[in-house]
Amino acid sequence: MMKFQIHTDKDKHDDFVKNNFFGDLLQSSNWAKVKDNWGSEIVSVLDDDNITASALVLIKKLPLGFTMLYIPRGPVLDYANPHLLAFFFEELRKWAKTQKALFIKFDPKIVYETSKFGEEAVINEQAKEYLKAIQAIGAQHFGFNLIMGETIQPRIQANEKLQNDIESIYPKHTRRLMKDALKRDVEVARVGEEGLEDFARLIELTVNRKGVALRNKDYFKKLMDLYGDDAYLHLATVDIPKKKAELTENLIQFEADLSETPENQKKRLTRLNDQISSTKKNLKEMEGLGEVTGNTVIAGILSIKFGDIMEMLYAGMDEKFKNFYPQYILYTLTFNEALAAGATWANMGGIEGSLDDGLSIFKSNFNPDVQRLIGEFTIKTSLLAPLGLWAYTKRKSSSM
């Protein structure tokens, strides 16, 4: 017999979620500690003491003692099992009332459509059946929205299928930009918490440039502390003084070679003039960076591996160094280390449904799959739910 359980053991929950097709980082028990401005509970369904469904439920306090419940990228269960689905939500509704919840929101990790950039999307026929089953238990579907900020989690994501020699699936211009980064002596590496100060600085630069609300050093440290060895901080660096000295030395040598080359050696003269012109251009670019001392951190990515997915949560870059193209080798390092750690996918994060904004265009450089999830659902659990949803929607609209 199936049994609904509250206060589910965190380790058992995490093991179930990690090994489930519908599992996700946002359903890990530690995510409740990340979102510590919400309350939380882990609820599950047991069948002969085995977990068959589980959910990290976040609890947001509302005025007058009411709450709303939110299950990020969950619940985790077999959506092809209508009996299990109905039982879970029937029991969840009962428990929600004990929490004075006005409504429940959830957005399961069900891929509804997939495409490559510039190609027609292919619908997952099984997902269409999942949608009918979820609506049959009384959940209201928000719809297939295309604007990232309309739902709590982005519905559309860029996901990279990991493989050896990942560069082989990139467009030619991406591979060219990777070579340009290497020619500029950009170096990339995984670092520990000692890199957080520089990473937080990069994120702050990104916030100022794009006008978006991101996180600070304390938040990033919390992520790294909570997820330990599964937290990956990758940074890109460049030593500008060293590179300038190298270019200056090369320029002196090229000019000396040019002065010693006979006029009849046309090809050599052309090559040397091209090298001198290119070196002078690079030096001028370096001079334009202003006073830069020592090895400088110019880009970074913070990722968490959970199950077989590397979630690339935050990325930042110093725009002053955009012509060094650090992100192209930085992302590739993240993909390669994710594969080495046993991941099969890297989630590059949300994108707009139009696919024509700057973030989408940048991510298209890695030839990822565009995965459109099934979307967000709402279940009303109180007669006051319409009022609560109105207030929630108004507040969300004002913050967009």
How many C-beta neighbours within 10 Å does residue 102 have? 23
Give the per-residue pLDDT at 213.
Answer: 62
Counting the structural domains of the chain, the total is: 3
Task: Grade residue 211 by pLDDT with cuts at 50, 70 and 90.
Answer: low
pLDDT at 221 over 50: yes
Task: Spell out the residues 6+ positions from residue 178 whose beta carbon is closer than 8 angstroms to its own.
Answer: 167, 170, 325, 328, 329, 332
Give domain status of residue 60, yes or no: yes
Mean pLDDT computed over 56-83: 96
Are 225 and 170 found together in one domain? yes
Q: Specify if 85 maps to a domain.
A: yes
Same domain, 233 and 328: yes
Residue 254 counted as domain residue: yes
- CA 154 – CA 123 distance, rounded (Å): 18
Average pLDDT over all residues of the chain: 94
Q: Is residue 65 part of a domain?
A: yes
Q: Are residues 301 and 208 in the same domain?
A: yes
Both tokens assigned to 344: 């099969």
Q: pLDDT over 70 for what percent of the chain?
A: 97
- Whether 22 and 12 have beta carbons less than 8 Å apart is answered as no
Query: Cβ of 79: how many Cβ atoms within 10 Å?
Result: 22
Domain identity same for 196 and 254: no
Q: Are 324 and 351 found together in one domain?
A: yes
Whether 163 maps to a domain, the answer reads: yes
Distance from C-alpha of 2 to C-alpha of 149, rounded to nearest angstrom: 37
Same domain, 216 and 340: yes
Strands 101-106 and 67-71 turn out to be parallel
In a domain, 131, yes or no: no
Bridge partners of residue 3, in order along the sequence: 46
What residue numbers bound the domain in which 93 lies? 2-107+376-399
Predicted confidence (pLDDT) per residue in 241-265, tens digit: 888 888 888 899 989 988 999 989 9
194 plus 91 within the same structural domain: no
3-class SS of residue 368: coil
Peptide bond into 75 cis (omega under 30): yes
- In the predicted model, is pLDDT for residue 279 greater than 50? yes
3-class DSSP assignment, residue 275: helix
So what's the pLDDT on residue 90?
Answer: 98
Residue 299 in 3-state DSSP? strand
Alpha-carbon separation of residue 207 from 202, 357, 358, 395 (angstroms): 9, 17, 15, 22
39-47 and 295-306 as β-strands: parallel, antiparallel, unpaired?
Answer: unpaired
**Same domain as 342, residue 222:** yes
How long is the chain?
400
Burial class (CB in 10 A: 0-12, 13-18, 19+), 372: buried
Same domain, yes or no, for 184 and 314? yes
Dump pLDDT digits (tens) for 320-336. 999 999 999 999 999 99
* 301 token code pair: 């990515």
What pLDDT digit, counting tens, does each position of 16-49 carry? 999 999 999 999 999 999 999 999 999 999 999 9
Which of 287, 318, 352 represents a domain boundary (last residue)? 287
Whether 148 is in a domain gets the answer no
Domain identity same for 259 and 352? no
pLDDT in tens, 341-384: 999 999 999 999 999 999 999 999 999 999 999 999 999 999 99
Classify 361 as helix, strand or coil: helix
Query: Distance between CA atoms of 323 and 293, rounded to whole angstroms?
Result: 18
Residues 233 and 316 in one domain: yes
Task: Tell how strand 67-71 and strand 50-61 pair up.
Answer: antiparallel
Residue 139 lies inside a defined structural domain of this protein: no
Enclosing H/E stretch for 132: helix 125-136
Note whether 12 and 56 are same-domain residues: yes
Here the CATH number for the domain that contains residue 86 is 3.40.630.30
